[in-house]
């Protein structure tokens, strides 16, 4: 570890293999909190590279017992958080729209960190279990095309890092990599980022991690979701090729809404918003959802254009398919014995 720390302090980048070795060391019982804290702090001060991000993600995924070899065509849609926009749960709502449009979604998420309600908080409010086993997740993905993977449940090995991060109380590499650590082998991904400078780094990391298609988006106003408040910045990954472009509401025939119009609340309020959207209630929440779901459907490859993706998203809601995916997940959760729910 000392050699790696010296390189980082000297602002030298670690190779993927060096990063893997350093992270594996942190998982050992002999690693001290001081060493882990120094590693995270030095890495943050230098700035992470795509190789370093891919290295730590590979080790975290390998340490999870929730890797599902039976699932080969799943995607995830998630933001890094940290934008402090206090929006409703956009990616969680969009996930059901994606599933209703025929996309298999392994939704990876956590409780609130920088907002009033994280994906886990709102799903728990709706009656969805946070304790699915690996076998249950595989069954849900095959039968319902959507399952929720609660990060602390699928990444139990991260406890040494969790303790140190809680004590450090500063941003670390973990603030950027959460959406990348899904233990399911994803073929495609929609990743929201609130820091524009991270977009090309994370797009390259997605390629190194094996994503065939992906979209990295920085929403208007530096939100970690696409918004209808102005110009969104996007990077499209397609078989190793990165293409940058911008997207405005008028480009896809959607109305303008300010960031204030998509603010959410606590888990109960955001659950009500999610249900309203899936029941087809028009407005800022609905249109923001179909924008993000449309981009996700495009990222997955089911739609050739984002405009087509938005139409698929609209149909997913209007047909009742999106809501049916949520209802299935709730009913499935209710059948799980109370001691493991």
Check whether 30 is labelled as a binding-site residue: no
Check whether 165 is labelled as a binding-site residue: yes
Check whether 85 is labelled as a binding-site residue: no
Check whether 92 is labelled as a binding-site residue: yes
Give which of 96, 175, 184 is closest to 132, Cα–Cα: 184
What parts of the chain have a pLDDT lower than 70? 69, 82-83, 113-116, 338-341
The span from the CA of 282 to the CA of 126, in Å, is 21
**pLDDT given at position 117:** 79
Check whether 83 is labelled as a binding-site residue: yes
Check whether 333 is labelled as a binding-site residue: no
- Asked if residue 192 lies in contact with residue 219, where contact means CB atoms within 8 angstroms, the answer is yes
Q: Tell how far CA 298 is from the center of its chain.
A: 16
Cα atoms in the Cβ-side hemisphere of radius 13 Å centred on 181: 30
**pLDDT given at position 339:** 46
For the chain, give the number of residues: 341
Check whether 224 is labelled as a binding-site residue: yes
Q: CB within 8 A of 10, min separation 6: which ones?
A: none
- Asked if residue 101 lies in contact with residue 313, where contact means CB atoms within 8 angstroms, the answer is yes
Q: Tell which phi-psi region holds residue 236, choosing left (phi > 0), alpha (psi between -120 and 50) or beta.
A: beta
Check whether 114 is labelled as a binding-site residue: yes
Q: Using one digit for the tens of pLDDT, what is the confidence trace for 193-215?
A: 988 999 999 999 999 999 999 99
Q: Which residue segments constitute the domains of the chain, with CATH numbers given?
A: 75-155+184-333 (3.40.1030.10)
Q: CB within 8 A of 144, min separation 6: which ones?
A: 99, 325, 328, 329, 332
* Tokens matching residue 208: 């190194």
Check whether 258 is labelled as a binding-site residue: no
**Residue corresponding to tokens 């087809």:** 280
Check whether 82 is labelled as a binding-site residue: yes
Q: What is the pTM of this model?
A: 0.94
**pLDDT given at position 257:** 97
Check whether 131 is labelled as a binding-site residue: no
Please, which residues bridge with residue 245 across strands? Answer: 234
Check whether 87 is labelled as a binding-site residue: yes
**pLDDT given at position 128:** 97
Check whether 195 is labelled as a binding-site residue: no
Check whether 232 is labelled as a binding-site residue: no
- Asked if residue 83 lies in contact with residue 258, where contact means CB atoms within 8 angstroms, the answer is no
Share of the chain above pLDDT 90, in %: 80
Check whether 72 is labelled as a binding-site residue: no
Check whether 79 is labelled as a binding-site residue: yes
**pLDDT given at position 83:** 66
Check whether 65 is labelled as a binding-site residue: no
**pLDDT given at position 171:** 84
| DSSP sequence for 243-304 | EEEEE-GGGGT-----GGGGB--SHHHHHHHHHHHHTT--SHHHHHHHHHHHHHHHHHTSSS
């Amino acid at each position: 570890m000392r050699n790696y720390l010296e390189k980082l302090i000297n602002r030298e980048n670690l190779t993927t293999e060096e990063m893997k070795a350093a992270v594996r060391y942190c998982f050992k019982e002999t690693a001290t909190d001081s060493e882990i804290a120094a590693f995270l702090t030095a890495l943050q001060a230098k700035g992470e590279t795509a190789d370093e991000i891919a290295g730590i993600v590979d080790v975290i995924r390998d340490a999870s017992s929730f890797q599902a070899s039976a699932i080969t065509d799943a995607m995830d849609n998630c933001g890094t958080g940290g934008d402090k926009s206090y929006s409703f749960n956009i990616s969680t709502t969009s996930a059901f729209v994606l599933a209703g449009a025929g996309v298999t979604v392994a939704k990876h998420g956590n409780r609130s960190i920088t907002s009033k309600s994280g994906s886990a908080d709102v799903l728990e409010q709706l009656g969805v279990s946070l304790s699915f086993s690996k076998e249950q997740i595989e069954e849900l993905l095959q039968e319902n095309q959507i399952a929720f993977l609660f990060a602390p449940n699928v990444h139990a090995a991260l406890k040494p890092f969790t303790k140190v991060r809680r004590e450090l109380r500063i941003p670390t590499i973990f603030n950027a990599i959460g959406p990348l650590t899904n233990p399911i082998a994803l073929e495609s991904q929609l990743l929201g980022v609130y820091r524009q400078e991270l977009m090309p780094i994370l797009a390259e990391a997605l390629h190194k991690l094996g994503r065939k298609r992906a979209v990295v988006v920085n929403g208007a106003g530096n939100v970690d979701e696409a918004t209808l408040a102005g110009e969104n910045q996007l990077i499209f990954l397609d078989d190793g090729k990165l293409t940058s472009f911008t997207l405005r509401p008028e480009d896809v025939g959607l109305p303008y809404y300010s960031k204030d119009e998509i603010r959410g609340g606590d888990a109960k309020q955001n659950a009500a918003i999610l249900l309203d959207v899936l029941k087809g209630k028009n407005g800022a929440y609905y249109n923001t959802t179909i924008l993000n779901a449309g981009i996700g459907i495009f990222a997955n490859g089911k739609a050739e254009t984002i405009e087509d993706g938005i139409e698929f998203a609209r149909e997913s809601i209007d047909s009742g398919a999106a809501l049916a995916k949520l209802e299935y997940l709730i009913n499935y959760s209710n059948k799980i014995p109370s001691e493991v729910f």
